Each structure stands twice: as C-alpha cells, then as structure tokens.
Structure 1
Amino acid sequence: MAINEEALCQQFARTFGGQEGFAGGKCVATINRDDLEVTIMGKPFSVTTSFSFESMDARSGRALCLGRVALLQKEVDGFAGAIIKQGITVSSVHNEWLFDQPSLIYVNIQDVDHPINFARKVKRALRS
C-alpha cells in the first residue's frame, strides 16, 4: 500500500480502537473482544472482530468496506438493527464453531463508502 493508504489504514483502525494490518493487499483492523471468556472444546479462544477496506476509487475515495463482527446471541438484534439504520448491509448472520461456550454469532456487513465514514457508522452501531 502507498503511504497515503497506510495513514488511512491507521486512522481506520484507530476509529475502531483496533490494530491495523495488511492482508492480501487490503487494510484490516482487528479488535479483540477481551470482555468475553470463550472456550472451544474446553480450550480458551481469543475472540476477534475485524473490518477491512479495499478497491478504493481514487476519485471518490469510496472503497469496498467489510466487517466480521463476533457477538453473543443477545447482542445480535441490537447490532444488526443499528447497522441497518446506518445504511450498511448485513450480508450474513451465522455461527462458525461447534462446542463454543458461550455460543458466538458472527454478523458480516458490507458497504461501499469512504473507509472512515464506514468506521464511524460501525462504531456507532457497536455502542448500541
């Protein structure tokens, strides 16, 4: 990524309070869910939520923005409702693991927007 994109990626991650990185040519911000103590098959599991952007249009500044949000079942309705109100698409709601305690639900989201606008909208929804 170019220096501009690196700075944008850092700002994107800071907006979420996450850690930035690059994977496959895209900016990825990762947030640890340290508030959750989860096990899979009795072993501790580090729960993370991640957001990314890629394919930025140089003229408009809009990019493909994606998210994979790890939630407890009781958090799903509030988050999904808040994210939809922000104009962001919920593309899937699913579990990924068997034998996880407590059970995690992952909500995938997507939008085409300026990455910082997307990050601010998602941050508002995460507070719901």
Structure 2
Amino acid sequence: MSTCQKLADMIGGVVVQATPVCVIMRLRDIDATILGRRTRSPLALPFMLSFEDNGLNLGESVVRQKEINPLMSALRKRGITVTAVHNHWLFDKPRLMYMHWENVTLDPVEFTRVSFEAAKEASLF
C-alpha cells in the first residue's frame, strides 16, 4: 500500500492523485445546493490535504459559517497556519465557505493526524 493511500485511509478518504503530489480527499456530508440544485461535487464539499516532497503540506475544507471559528481555533492550537477563509460559489444554501491552511514543520502523517483531529474537534466529521 502506498504512503498516499495510508494517508487517505487516516481520514476515511480517497487518493485523488499520488504523483507528483499526494492529494487526498474526503467529502463532507452537507445537504447543499448551488443555484437551487443539489450538489455532491468534490469542488463544493471537499476536505482535502496535499503533501509535496519538499515538505509543503496544504489543507482545504468546505465549512459552514458556524464551523469557521471552531475549525480555525482547533487548527491554530495545533500549530497550523490558517491562510484564508472565503467563498467559492454564489447562490449556495447553506452558505458554504472554504478554509485553507499550511504547514512545513510536520511530516505528512502528523499533518494528516492534526488536521483531521481539528476537523473532528470542530464537528466537521
């Protein structure tokens, strides 16, 4: 089993891409619509992490407005830098926001562990 697959298994997700960058994803279970149409798109409902050979770890998740502060606090207390919170879509219900975070000091296993712990603490999963 590849390292990328092991990381995906840690979050109950799937490998989106293994090379040249490992990207893993688990979809959030949010009953959401865009333009009045139900969506299950990974563009709308992702919890994603990526890992590069140079040690760059990146994360992104869809968050409901009430989840923003809990997730940001949970990531920050674990030493993770939150870099952005913004929307992607117009006419979405509920209002979907997206949080991005980054780190270069943790190995991929630890970044996955703390990112997913923070998500669980903030009740994303």
TM-score tier after normalising by the smaller chain length: 0.7 to 0.9
State whether structure 2 residue 2 is matched by structure 1 residue 10.
Answer: no
Does the alignment pair 1:73 with 2:69?
A: no
Matches within 5 A, 1:1-128: 7-22=2-17, 25-34=20-29, 36-46=30-40, 47-56=45-54, 63-112=55-104, 113-128=106-121
User: What count of residue pairs does the alignment treat as equivalent?
Assistant: 116
CA distance in 2, matches of 1:15, 1:23: 15
Structure 1 CA distance for aligned equivalents of residues 12 and 31 of structure 2:
20
Shift of the alpha carbon at 1:55? 2.5
Shift of 1:24: 6.3
Backbone CA RMSD of aligned residues: 1.4
TM-score of the superposed pair, with normalisation by structure 2: 0.87
Distance 2:99 2:46 in 1: 12
The one-letter code of the counterpart of 1:86 is R
Q: Runs of 4 or more off by more than 6 Å in structure 1?
A: none
